[in-house]
């Protein structure tokens, strides 16, 4: 996806916050495995008396920090500001009476990552920092190693005493699984940075104007989708008297989870999870890509390809190429994300005023199945020996409150800067280590507020400050549809994209392992290549569906069995 477009949609459509939930920890990213059994962190032996979650220190408290520098971001800083001298640093300092002491900084990307990894390897840690996966192991695996090496402080007591009601509520909304995920032997060693997750579920985008033209009903299940795809291919929906349209836009890595143009939803519909580690009926973690349930999704796609419903050149096409097919009116259906009205559907909306895109979910037995990464990928941790472990909790409290628009001065600050400098200038982010906590369904809840107001069931008093910045676009488009194309796209994203997710029953299969093992490092890349080749051959009809069984045997014999064994041993070490 075009990065500029992606940044634009995030800035325009995601709930706005001056202080973001992503701390200054570089660009590393890893998805951890879920907790096998959710449990609230056990209380300590002595009762803990709750204190003010936002209590300022009586005397200034110093905290050593690290941060990454981004030259592109620096160009947008307002005059006379820097990473170490800015409004957001002052905001945190004033709220808690704290002072940052810079331990080091580095350019974002490889430079930061290398220095960060060396910092951990040498046990030369700042007082508080965000622990992020290194791409080779899950963040929880890293946390376990730091705990075993006595490098980080226990924060159980600090959390019990200072955690705000809001972050407790957010954790409870996921059955406190995130807290369990940060705990070993009943003790908590980091603040799990849980955030909005359900909005990442795939949606099925369809040109509603094509449905209407062909007299088709909106889809409810897989059979409906297949009938629509066949009609879009055979019944000339664009009206040019040519056989030049396809039923479904799909890119070359078609079973990748939750990507735009992925067909992962077809696999999930039949309880198949082709790129996730999942628990089987015996409680063993296995790779979904070699499980029998994946065959049904492959069979459906092979049938669609045989019938000409999928572009025969899909193995050669990435997202940008499929996006061109959408924009040129050759494809009227695709799986993607809730924000796709910006890209790639935006091209279709801009060039064809008749194009009318809506989002749907395909339900099996009234339920939408989906695979997702566990909603915690980072922890805020405290160096062993630091005297103020409670500061980590307070930083999360303040950031969460800011993200929830409970500091009007932050929103006003953003509006004032925009009025003075335009959208091209901004305050630098704070260098204090922090991360906000959110509900898994934050975006879905915002949609439900918007829907209630637009349908006359509520008024705007139910909106928080961030939502109130989005609502005018939705109301303007409802009153004057498509008068402003950007407001129209925003409306499509929220009311159709998120709306399709908010109104169904979800059955989420959380990815059970995203770390690494010795055999995983050595063998998995080649096995993933083999999987893509085998899956593609089956879909294109170069091999029959029975070839899947041959692929599974080869996958296991070439290292898959060993990887699976090591994955389960690794999870046992983590207490999972």
Domain ranges of the chain: 18-197+375-421, 203-372+510-573
The stretch 376-384 carries a mean pLDDT of 96
pLDDT (average), residues 341-352: 96
pLDDT higher than threshold 70 for residue 263: yes
Residue 567 pLDDT greater than 90, yes or no: yes
Paired residues of 359 in beta bridges:
205
Contact 246, 311 (CB under 8 A): yes
Cβ neighbours for 143, distance < 8 A, ≥ 6 positions apart: 131, 152, 182, 189, 190, 379, 381
CA 297, CA 364: separation in Å to the nearest integer? Answer: 14
User: What's 34's DSSP letter?
Assistant: P
pLDDT digits (tens, 9 = 90+) for 389-441: 999 999 999 999 998 889 989 888 988 888 898 878 889 999 999 888 999 99
Residue (of 338, 336, 297) closest to 198 by Cα position? 338
How far apart are the C-alpha atoms of 550 and 375, rounded to whole Å?
A: 35
Pairing of strands 98-107, 61-69: parallel
pLDDT at 48 (0 to 100): 63
CB of 67 closer than 8 Å to CB of 105: yes
What would the CATH number be for the domain defined by 18-197+375-421? Answer: 3.40.190
pLDDT at site 7 = 36
Which of 406, 424, 251 is closest to 344 using CA atoms? 251
The reply to whether 18-197+375-421 and 203-372+510-573 are identical in fold is yes
Tokens of 125: 């840690």
What average pLDDT does the structure give for the chain? 90
> Rounded to the nearest 5 degrees, what angle is found at the Cα of 562, between the Cα atoms of 557 and 515?
130
Q: Return d(Cα 346, Cα 560) in angstroms, integer.
A: 42
Q: Can the peptide bond before residue 487 be classed as cis, meaning omega within 30 degrees of 0?
A: no
Count CA atoms within 13 Å of residue 537 on its CB side: 15
Angle between helices 547-555 and 294-306 (to 10 degrees): 130
Check: pTM over 0.75? Answer yes or no.
yes
Per-residue model confidence (pLDDT) at position 26: 38
Share of the chain above pLDDT 90, in %: 77
Residue 180: CB partners within 8 Å, gap ≥ 6?
35, 37, 38, 39, 40, 41
Which CATH number does 203-372+510-573 carry? Answer: 3.40.190.10
**What's the pLDDT tens digit per position in 116-173?**
999 999 999 999 999 997 766 778 889 999 999 999 999 999 999 999 999 999 999 9
Spatial contact of 222 and 300, defined as CB atoms under 8 Å apart: yes
Q: Record the tokens describing residue 56, joined without a space.
A: 């300022």
404 Cβ contact partners less than 8 Å away, ≥ 6 residues apart = 166, 464
What are the tokens at 136?
Answer: 């080779």
Can you give the pLDDT at residue 47? 57
Tell me the pLDDT tens digit for each residue of 288-312. 999 999 999 999 999 999 999 999 9
Task: Summarize pLDDT for 505-529 with one digit per residue, the tens.
Answer: 999 999 998 777 899 989 999 999 9
pLDDT at 33 over 70: no
208-254: pLDDT as tens digits: 999 999 999 999 999 999 999 999 999 999 999 999 999 999 999 99
Residue 69 has pLDDT above 70, yes or no: yes
Residue 38 is predicted with a pLDDT of 33
**pLDDT for position 397:** 98
State how far the Cα of 561 lies from the Cα of 567, in Å rounded to an integer: 10
């Amino acid at each position: 996806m075009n990065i500029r477009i992606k940044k634009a949609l995030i800035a325009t459509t995601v709930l706005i916050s001056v202080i973001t939930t992503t701390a200054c920890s570089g660009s590393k990213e890893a998805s951890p495995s879920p907790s096998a059994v959710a449990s609230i962190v056990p209380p300590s032996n002595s009762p803990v008396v709750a204190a003010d979650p936002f209590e300022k220190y009586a005397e200034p408290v110093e905290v050593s920090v690290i941060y990454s520098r981004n030259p592109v971001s620096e160009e947008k800083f307002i005059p006379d500001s820097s990473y170490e001298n800015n409004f957001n640093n002052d905001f945190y300092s004033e709220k808690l009476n704290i002072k940052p002491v810079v331990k080091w900084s580095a350019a974002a990307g490889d430079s930061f990552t290398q220095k960060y990894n060396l910092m951990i390897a040498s046990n030369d840690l700042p007082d508080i920092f965000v622990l992020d996966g290194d791409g080779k192991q899950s963040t929880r695996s890293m946390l376990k190693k730091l705990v075993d090496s006595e490098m980080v402080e226990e924060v159980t007591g600090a959390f019990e005493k200072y955690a705000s009601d809001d972050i407790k509520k957010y954790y409870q909304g996921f059955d406190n699984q995130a807290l369990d995920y940060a705990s070993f032997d009943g003790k908590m060693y980091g603040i799990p940075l849980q955030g909005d997750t359900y909005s990442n579920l795939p949606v099925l985008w369809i040109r509603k104007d094509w449905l209407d033209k062909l007299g088709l009903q909106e889809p409810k299940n897989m059979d409906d989708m297949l009938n629509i795809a066949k009609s879009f291919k055979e019944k000339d929906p664009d009206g040019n008297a040519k056989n030049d349209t396809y039923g479904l836009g799909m890119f070359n890595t078609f079973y990748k989870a939750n990507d735009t143009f992925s067909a992962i939803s077809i696999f999930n519909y039949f309880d198949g999870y082709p790129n996730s580690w999942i628990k089987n009926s015996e409680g063993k973690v296995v790779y979904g890509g070699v499980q029998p349930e994946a065959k049904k999704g492959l069979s459906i796609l092979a049938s669609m390809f045989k019938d000409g419903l999928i572009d025969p050149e899909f193995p050669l096409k990435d997202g940008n190429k499929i996006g061109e097919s959408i924009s040129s009116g050759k494809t009227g259906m695709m799986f993607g994300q809730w924000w796709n009205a910006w890209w790639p559907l935006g091209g279709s909306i801009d060039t064809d005023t008749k194009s009318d895109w809506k989002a749907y979910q395909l339900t099996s037995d009234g339920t939408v199945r989906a695979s997702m990464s566990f909603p915690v990928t980072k922890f805020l941790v405290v160096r062993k020996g630091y005297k103020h472990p409670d500061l980590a909790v307070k930083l999360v409290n303040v950031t969460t409150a800011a993200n929830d628009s409970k500091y009007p001065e932050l929103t006003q600050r953003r509006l004032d800067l925009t009025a003075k400098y335009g959208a091209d200038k901004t305050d630098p982010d704070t260098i204090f280590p922090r991360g906000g906590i959110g509900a898994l369904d934050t975006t879905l809840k915002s949609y439900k507020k918007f829907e209630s107001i637009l349908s006359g069931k509520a008024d705007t008093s139910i909106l928080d400050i961030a939502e109130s910045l989005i609502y005018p676009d939705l109301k303007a488009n409802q009153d004057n549809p498509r008068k402003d194309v950007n407001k129209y796209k925003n409306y499509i994203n929220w009311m159709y994209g998120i709306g399709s997710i908010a109104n169904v029953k979800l059955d989420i299969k959380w990815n059970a392992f995203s770390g690494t093992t010795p055999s995983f490092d050595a063998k998995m890349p080649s096995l993933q290549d083999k999987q893509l080749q085998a899956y593609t051959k089956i879909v294109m009809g170069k091999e029959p569906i029975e070839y899947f069984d041959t692929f599974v045997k080869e996958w296991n014999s070439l290292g898959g069995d060993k990887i699976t064994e090591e994955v389960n041993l690794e999870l046992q070490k983590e207490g999972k």
